[in-house]
Amino acid sequence: MGILDFLTGEFIDVIHWTDDTRDTMVWRFEREGHAIKYGAKLTVREGQAAVFVHEGQLADVFTPGLYMLETNNMPIMTTLQHWDHGFQSPFKSEIYFVNTTRFNDLKWGTKNPIMLRDPEFGPLRLRAFGTYSTRVSDPAKFLTEIVGTDGEFTMDEISYQIRNIIVQEFSRVIAASGIPALDMAANTGDLGKLIASAITPIVAEYGLTIPEFYIENISLPPAVEEALDKRSSMGIAGDLGKFTQYSAAEAMTAAARNPSGGGGMGAGLGAGMGMAMATQMANQMQQGPWGAAPAAAPASTPPPPPPVEHVWHIAEGGQTTGPFSKAAMGRMASEGKLTRDTHVWTPGQDGWKTADEVVELAQLFTILPPPPPGS
């Protein structure tokens, strides 16, 4: 340092700090030998505080304003130095500027799921994340408890500790609230206030405060969310029968659009599903225009007799075989031993008929694929 710089530092001493980093919380004023001249000018801007540390001991805290470092406005410092009104020599002290503005848009989140007992779903795991803001409320305590002798202390050095405090209090409050998981979205504002009030006493021990705290999202595990989506879909569908019809129609449409993937089988399956849907619609029409079931029969009317199970005989090559049950006839149809042109007879039937002329047997061929090419 040149002699001119030395003389300038001796006669004029201006102490101030302008911050352009947006994340610096504490900055130490660097002076060669930490020699501060008696009568120097100290400028503390809005959103700042200046803390004097003399020989390792906190001396004074200055709020925003312009100060002349003299005996009348430094009572604690005067006591430490034993100054009198004529003492003009420099004193060796450290000056720390503390940023007292808000640090906004700070992130927090649960690294691991939180276990709790939900009143509707039972044991459940939740994740959550959000934002918060913080500011220094007690510069002296913050410097003593957190900063120490760090010449430049940034928000990153304390944010991890604050996040741990937030997650701990969030877990405790959310588990004790008893609010169902499905209702938490409607209560994030109240939960945020509860968590902020629980965090405040803890961070106050560091000289900090949490003026704002927000919960952006509370989420469930993917498997639980998938189950909820299915439950919501069923609720939107309403009538389960109509939902089944809609699903069957969608399956038929998808099969028709994919002829290469077993088109014959898809067509036969679609035809069978179509007949089943037609039968169901016919039953609904019989119930009346409003879907109401027909009036109950009087108590004196006997119930109708159970349907008679038909057995069938087959005529082939001048010989007859049988009798066969309908299930056996279905197996024979799937194996190709029973065709539409096969002559069949059952007791009560007027003569022999081909299988496709009998309604009960014609249904067996609606779900079968056509014969393969070249057979």
> How far out from the chain centre does Cα 129 lie?
9
Pairing between β-strand 122-136 and β-strand 208-219 as defined by DSSP bridges: antiparallel
Question: What is the spatial distance between Cα 162 and Cα 143, in angstroms, rounded to a whole number?
Answer: 16
Checking if the pLDDT of 327 tops 60, the result is yes
Checking if the pLDDT of 273 tops 60, the result is no
- Two tokens, residue 180: 């169902």
- Non-local (6+) Cβ contacts of 325 within 8 A are 309, 311, 312
Read off the pLDDT band of 269 (50, 70, 90).
low
Checking if the pLDDT of 65 tops 60, the result is yes
Give per-residue pLDDT as tens, 154-206. 999 999 999 999 999 999 988 888 888 888 888 888 888 889 999 999 999 99
**Average pLDDT of the residues in 250-271:** 61
Per DSSP (E only), the strands in 57-158 are 57-62, 65-68, 91-92, 94-99, 103-109, 114-118, 122-136, 152-154
pLDDT at 299: 55
Read off the pLDDT band of 274 (50, 70, 90).
low
Q: Which CATH number fits domain 312-365: 1.10.10, 1.10.101, 3.40.50, 3.30.1490?
A: 3.30.1490
User: 337 or 293: whose pLDDT is higher?
Assistant: 337
51 in Cβ contact with 102 (< 8 Å): no
> How far out from the chain centre does Cα 159 lie?
23
Q: Can you give the three-state secondary structure of 203-220, one letter per residue?
A: HHCCCEEEEEEEEEEEEC
User: 24 or 177: whose pLDDT is higher?
Assistant: 24
pLDDT at 50: 93
- Backbone phi and psi for residue 338, each to the nearest 5 degrees, phi listed first: -120, 125
Residues of the chain above pLDDT 70, percent: 70
Question: What does CATH list as the number for 103-224?
Answer: 3.30.479.30
Closest Cα partner for 184 from 67, 169, 175? 175
pLDDT at 109: 93
Read off the pLDDT band of 279 (50, 70, 90).
low
What are the angstrom distances between the C-alpha of 93 and each of 55, 63, 102?
A: 7, 18, 28
Listed range (99-103, 162-166, 297-301, 371-375) with the worst mean pLDDT:
297-301
pLDDT at 229: 79
Question: What is the spatial distance between Cα 74 and Cα 299, in angstroms, rounded to a whole number?
Answer: 106
- Non-local (6+) Cβ contacts of 291 within 8 A are 284
**What does the mean pLDDT of the chain come to?**
77
pLDDT at 12: 46
Listed range (70-84, 121-135, 149-163, 164-178) with the worst mean pLDDT:
70-84
Query: Which phi-psi region, left, alpha or beta, contains residue 40 (left: φ > 0; alpha: ψ -120 to 50)?
Result: beta
Closest Cα partner for 294 from 286, 302, 303? 286
* Residues constituting the chain: 375
Give per-residue pLDDT as tens, 5-23. 544 444 447 888 988 888 8
Other Cβ atoms closer than 10 A to 124: 18
- Backbone phi and psi for residue 5, each to the nearest 5 degrees, phi listed first: -65, -35
Checking if the pLDDT of 216 tops 80, the result is yes
User: 84 or 196: whose pLDDT is higher?
Assistant: 196
Give per-residue pLDDT as tens, 28-63. 987 665 567 777 888 999 999 999 887 778 888 999
Closest Cα partner for 31 from 48, 16, 46, 50? 16
- Two tokens, residue 94: 């450290």
Q: What pTM was estimated for this model as a whole? A: 0.55
Most confident of 92-96, 129-133, 220-224, 259-263: 129-133
Listed range (224-233, 319-328, 363-372) with the worst mean pLDDT:
363-372
